């Protein structure tokens, strides 16, 4: 749920939408949603068919840069067959299959409004599982300089056991709002957000939002993902030739020890922490793209004007201040092969000591993570068959800090990989579309080390690294070594591509196994769903 400050910021954001614009420029501001599945489906357009100097690792993407299309609606509809003639003659069928619920398209402005349901029912063999989500989304453009989106979801649900345990222990629904008890074993929660995007020239874009961001070419990101809940941010993106630079200032929430671990609500604002993010992307060649990443987390001492200048590297500033702020840096790269494959990877570094890094003794302060992946489009020359293979790993304590309010987390979840740290993961995703049918298969396998006997082995990023088990002999998988397997199959029939309204049937198999327990869970669900949000359940 939004706290009081969040609601005030969100109302202010909506008020700004009434600002009028008269001048016109060639660039535009409309953003695509962060949907990982959507980006995989649009992979050919994003990486190979565009003539613009697009930077795919910096999301959300600008819709105008993908092909020659002006609106994101036309990108959605391009994925599916054209509507039948009989559908365009009936108002009900137009709204169900081809249009937004409210849709206005004028020369100087556009507007849409949709009702977004997520109504599911299923079973794990022992109890009934269900989700009851009612959402509203509105958005549009004013001229070619302004674009805006706003969305709100009211939710209740009853989930699988592992999902329920996470919500109880962390007091949040993964990626969404505060978890409050509802009925027997159920939860009540909410989700709201929005973004105002302003492009005064083709060289610069400003965004004011309460939403998520993503940096990387993969399904996961070890730098900045959309795993955690929304947060308020102000983002500046500047482009010149083959170079794009992003500076983002964000306010995050840290209530790790704010109240007892129960499903309780409070009227007091939750403790805040501040963050800045810098990302420099360079399309070195038509095939090779390289990006440099930097982040600083600092204690809730008010805004530090040392970090205001977006062109100053934050690490020397942090060092010069003699501050306890936490710095994380990283590298992202991708390379295109032939006309349908992209190899990508990331390297994250949270702390570096040369002699410890190369000693091979497993020093605790050797904190880094790696990603390597490949994705392909129209595989075997079969149109609309896309796939992705990916490996991710992060050493113990990699995103932790001395104090949890400077760790790399927000709203009791990691800002990068949902496993936190101390893990190795392989995953595969296959997606195939035939007309309006959409088949998606996913499998994840991982090993990670859980804490035992109140010892901190480095997976939970909210535990201080001062409570580490030892200084040396720290390797990935230390602790209660656990094997994880997750398989997910979804078959959907897309009713309306503009709001991703679909009839969906799904099945999940999940196993978590170590020498203390073997937790097997499987469940199926069926429902009608809409929205492009990424809500991760594969953890």
Residue 410: Cβ within 10 Å count: 22
Is 457 contained in some domain?
A: yes
First and final C-alpha spacing in the chain: 22
Q: Tell me if the bond preceding 60 is cis, omega within 30° of 0.
A: yes
Gap between the Cα atoms of 277 and 329, Å rounded: 10
Gap between the Cα atoms of 436 and 210, Å rounded: 32
Is 117 contained in some domain?
A: yes
Classify strands 501-513 and 480-496 as parallel, antiparallel or unpaired. antiparallel
pLDDT digits (tens, 9 = 90+) for 459-474: 999 999 999 999 999 9
Is 424 contained in some domain?
A: yes
DSSP-assigned letter for residue 384: T
What is the pLDDT averaged over residues 308-319? 59
Gap between the Cα atoms of 3 and 13, Å rounded: 15
In sequence order, the 6+-apart residues with CB closer than 8 A to the CB of 99 are: 496, 498
Count structural domains, the chain: 1
Answer yes or no: is pLDDT of 153 > 50: yes
pLDDT digits (tens, 9 = 90+) for 356-411: 777 778 899 899 999 999 999 999 999 999 999 999 999 999 999 998 889 999 99
Gap between the Cα atoms of 433 and 494, Å rounded: 10
How far is the CA of 219 from the CAs of 40, 226, 375, 385, 501, in angstroms? 9, 10, 10, 17, 22
What is the pLDDT averaged over residues 297-313? 67
Gap between the Cα atoms of 29 and 144, Å rounded: 7
Concatenate the DSSP letters of all residues of 400-461 into one string: --SSGGGSSEETTEESS-TT-SSEEEEEEEEEEEETTEEEEEEEEEEEEEE--TT-B-S--T
Which of helix, strand or coil describes residue 220? coil
In sequence order, the 6+-apart residues with CB closer than 8 A to the CB of 115 are: 101, 134, 135, 136, 530
In sequence order, the 6+-apart residues with CB closer than 8 A to the CB of 233 are: 207, 208, 209, 210, 211, 213, 248, 249, 250, 251
Contacts by residues 356-361 (CB-CB < 8 Å, ≥ 24 positions apart): 361/472, 361/473
Which helix (H) or strand (E) covers residue 356, if one does? helix 354-357
Q: Which domain holds residue 118?
A: 4-529
pLDDT digits (tens, 9 = 90+) for 53-106: 789 999 999 988 886 555 788 888 888 887 666 666 788 888 888 899 999 999
- Average pLDDT score over the chain: 87
Is 340 contained in some domain?
A: yes
Is 114 contained in some domain?
A: yes
Give the closest residue to 56 by CA, choosing from 371, 247, 290. Answer: 290
What is the pLDDT averaged over residues 22-48? 77
Q: Residue 530 — pLDDT band, cuts 50, 70, 90?
A: very high
What is the pLDDT averaged over residues 235-250? 95
**406: CATH:** 2.40.160.130
| Per-residue pLDDT at 455 | 94
Residue 474, both tokens: 């720290």
pLDDT digits (tens, 9 = 90+) for 161-173: 999 999 999 999 9
Of 253 and 35, more confident: 253
Q: Residue 319 — pLDDT band, cuts 50, 70, 90?
A: low
Gap between the Cα atoms of 463 and 156, Å rounded: 30
| Per-residue pLDDT at 97 | 87
Gap between the Cα atoms of 333 and 360, Å rounded: 26
Give the closest residue to 536 by CA, choosing from 451, 454, 444, 433. Answer: 444
Answer yes or no: is pLDDT of 34 > 50: yes
Give the closest residue to 293 by CA, choosing from 249, 346, 343. Answer: 346
The answer to whether 155 and 189 are in contact (CB under 8 A) is yes
Is 539 contained in some domain?
A: no
Answer yes or no: is pLDDT of 20 > 80: no
Answer yes or no: is pLDDT of 150 > 70: yes
Gap between the Cα atoms of 114 and 117, Å rounded: 10
Is 226 contained in some domain?
A: yes
Answer yes or no: is pLDDT of 22 > 80: no
The answer to whether 163 and 187 are in contact (CB under 8 A) is no
Concatenate the DSSP letters of all residues of 27-86 into one string: ----B----HHHHHHTHHIIIII--S---TTEESPBGGGSTT-SSHHHHHHTTSPPPPHH
| Per-residue pLDDT at 315 | 55
Angle subtended at Cα 94 by Cα 93 and Cα 100, rounded to the nearest 5 degrees: 125
Angle subtended at Cα 322 by Cα 319 and Cα 328, rounded to the nearest 5 degrees: 45
Radius of gyration of the chain (CA): 23
Give the closest residue to 236 by CA, choosing from 290, 310, 128. Answer: 310
Is 367 contained in some domain?
A: yes
Gap between the Cα atoms of 457 and 436, Å rounded: 47
| Per-residue pLDDT at 5 | 47
């Amino acid at each position: 749920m939004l706290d009081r400050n969040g609601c005030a910021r969100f109302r202010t954001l909506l008020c700004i939408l009434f600002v009028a614009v008269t001048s016109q420029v060639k660039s535009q501001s409309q953003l695509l949603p962060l949907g990982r599945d959507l980006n995989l489906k649009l992979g050919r357009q994003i990486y190979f068919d565009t003539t613009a100097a697009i930077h795919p690792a910096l999301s959300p993407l600008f819709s105008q840069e993908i092909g020659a299309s002006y609106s994101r609606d036309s990108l959605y509809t391009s994925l599916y067959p054209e509507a039948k003639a009989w559908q365009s003659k009936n108002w009900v069928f137009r709204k169900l299959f081809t249009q937004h619920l409210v849709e206005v398209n004028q020369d100087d402005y556009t507007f849409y409004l949709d009702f977004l349901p997520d109504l599911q029912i299923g079973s794990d063999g022992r109890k009934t599982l269900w989700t009851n989500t009612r959402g509203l989304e509105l958005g549009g453009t004013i001229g070619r300089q302004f674009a805006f989106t706003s969305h709100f979801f009211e939710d209740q649900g009853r989930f699988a056991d592992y999902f329920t345990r996470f919500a109880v222990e962390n007091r949040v629904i993964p990626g969404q709002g505060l978890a409050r008890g509802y009925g027997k074993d159920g939860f009540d929660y909410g989700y709201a957000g929005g973004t105002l995007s302003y492009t005064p020239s083709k060289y610069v874009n400003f965004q004011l939002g309460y939403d998520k961001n993503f940096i990387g070419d993969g399904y996961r990101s070890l730098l900045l993902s959309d795993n955690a809940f929304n947060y308020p941010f102000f983002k500046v993106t500047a482009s010149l030739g083959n170079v794009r630079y992003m500076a983002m200032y964000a306010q995050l929430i840290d209530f790790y020890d704010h109240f007892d671990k129960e499903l309780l609500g409070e009227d007091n604002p939750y403790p805040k922490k501040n963050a800045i993010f810098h990302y420099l992307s360079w399309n070195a060649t038509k095939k090779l793209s390289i990006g440099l990443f930097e982040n600083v987390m600092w204690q809730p001492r008010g805004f530090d004007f040392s970090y205001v200048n977006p062109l100053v590297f934050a690490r020397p500033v942090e060092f010069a201040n003699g501050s306890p702020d936490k710095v994380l840096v990283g590298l992202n790269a991708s390379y295109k092969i032939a006309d349908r494959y992209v190899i990508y990877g990331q390297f994250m570094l949270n702390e570096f000591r040369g002699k410890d890094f190369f000693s091979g003794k497993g020093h605790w302060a050797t904190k880094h993570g790696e990603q390597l992946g490949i994705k392909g489009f129209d595989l075997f020359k079969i149109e609309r068959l896309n796939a992705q293979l990916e490996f991710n790993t992060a050493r113990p304590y990699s995103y932790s800090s001395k104090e949890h309010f400077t760790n790399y987390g927000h709203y009791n979840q990691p800002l990068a990989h949902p496993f936190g740290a101390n893990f190795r993961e392989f995953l595969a995703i296959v997606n195939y579309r035939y007309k309006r049918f959409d088949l998606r298969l996913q499998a994840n396998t991982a090993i990670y080390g859980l804490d035992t006997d109140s010892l901190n082995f480095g997976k939970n990023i909210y535990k201080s690294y001062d409570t580490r088990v030892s200084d040396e002999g720290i390797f990935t998988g230390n602790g209660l070594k656990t094997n994880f397997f997750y398989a997910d199959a979804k078959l959907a029939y897309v009713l309306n591509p503009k709001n991703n309204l679909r009839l969906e049937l799904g099945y999940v198999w999940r196993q978590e196994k170590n020498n203390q327990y073997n937790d097997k869970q499987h469940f199926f669900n069926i429902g009608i769903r809409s929205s492009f949000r990424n809500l991760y359940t594969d953890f």
